[in-house]
Amino acid sequence: DVKVTQSSRYLVKRTGEKVFLECVQDMDHENMFWYRQDPGLGLRLIYFSYDVKMKEKGDIPEGYSVSREKKERFSLILESASTNQTSMYLCASSLSGTGGASSYNEQFFGPGTRLTVL
Amino acid sequence: AQSVSQHNHHVILSEAASLELGCNYSYGGTVNLFWYVQYPGQHLQLLLKYFSGDPLVKGIKGFEAEFIKSKFSFNLRKPSVQWSDTAEYFCAVKTGGGNKLTFGTGTQLKVEL
């Protein structure tokens, strides 16, 4: 069974603090993703990584950075937390697809971290 | 950029009623389509997916979805819902050879006894 774990289920931080959200997967997946989930907006991709030390911006990268030093771990960093970053953060991982558009590997999600920035 | 629309934001049904949740995407090329479900307090999990071939795909728990290319749609259906189907449902699309998914805004389904 694929397991994606996130370091905290609930986190409360103050405006201006540096925040680290950690994600670990145990299935040797190449791809890892960070999303935020907000009511009425669905899931929006912040950053993703397709290999160690590789990263690409998603749809809403502003205010965030990421780090992937080891294959199993993908960290999301809020350099200076702001109240508009209060959200549910979801991490996901998947194997790399091969063979073009017809191939895909399911994304497996972690339980999420509900971050509140005061 | 591709986008995914889910027009039903909140749906309330009685048990045994039939369900259809709409999903439309905007992309003219080859797509892979997915429905994910998030039960209260649980992880997001895959319900079903379409890659190619038969446009009617069956997923877990009696759900199915039909890909209609001409309508850019991938609607989710279930003939008879149960109280345990109460959850949030997300449609997602993958385009090209990458691994990114674009998600819709989700539909909250509440099934009443």
Instruction: For residue range A58-91, list pLDDT tens digits in order.
Output: 999 999 999 999 999 999 999 999 999 999 999 9
> Burial of B34 by CB count in 10 Å (0-12 exposed, 13-18 middle, 19+ buried)?
buried
What pLDDT shows up at residue A2?
A: 65
**Which residues of B are less than 8 Å from A97 in CB distance?**
97-99
**Candidate from B51, B104, B106 with C-beta closest to A104:** B51
Instruction: For residue range A26-47, list pLDDT tens digits in order.
Output: 989 999 999 999 998 999 999 9
pLDDT over 90 percentage in chain B: 80
Say how far apart CA B23 and CA B25 lie, in whole Å: 7
Q: Roughly how many angstroms between the first and final C-alpha of chain B, as a whole number?
A: 41
Query: Cα–Cα distances in Å, from A25 out to A5, A87, A91, A92, B79?
Result: 6, 22, 9, 8, 36
Predicted confidence band of residue A95 (pLDDT cuts 50, 70, 90): confident
What pLDDT shows up at residue B98?
A: 67
Q: How many Cβ contacts (< 8 angstroms) between chains A and B?
A: 65
What pLDDT shows up at residue A101?
A: 44
Q: Do B44 and A40 touch (CB under 8 A)?
A: no
What pLDDT shows up at residue A98?
A: 58
The 3 state secondary structure assigned to chain A is CCCEEECCCEEEECCCCCEEEEEEECCCCCEEEEEEEECCCEEEEEEEECCCCCCEECCCCCCCEEEEEECCEEEEEECCCCHHHCEEEEEEEECCCCCHHHCCCCCEECCCEEEEEC
Q: For residue A97, what are the contacts with CB-CB under 8 A and spacing of at least 6? A: A103, A104, A105, B97, B98, B99
**Which residues of A are less than 8 Å from B6 in CB distance?**
42
Instruction: For residue range B40-94, list pLDDT tens digits in order.
Output: 989 999 999 998 889 999 999 999 999 999 999 999 999 999 999 999 999 999 8
Instruction: For residue range B93-111, list pLDDT tens digits in order.
Output: 987 666 788 999 999 999 9
What pLDDT shows up at residue B52?
A: 85
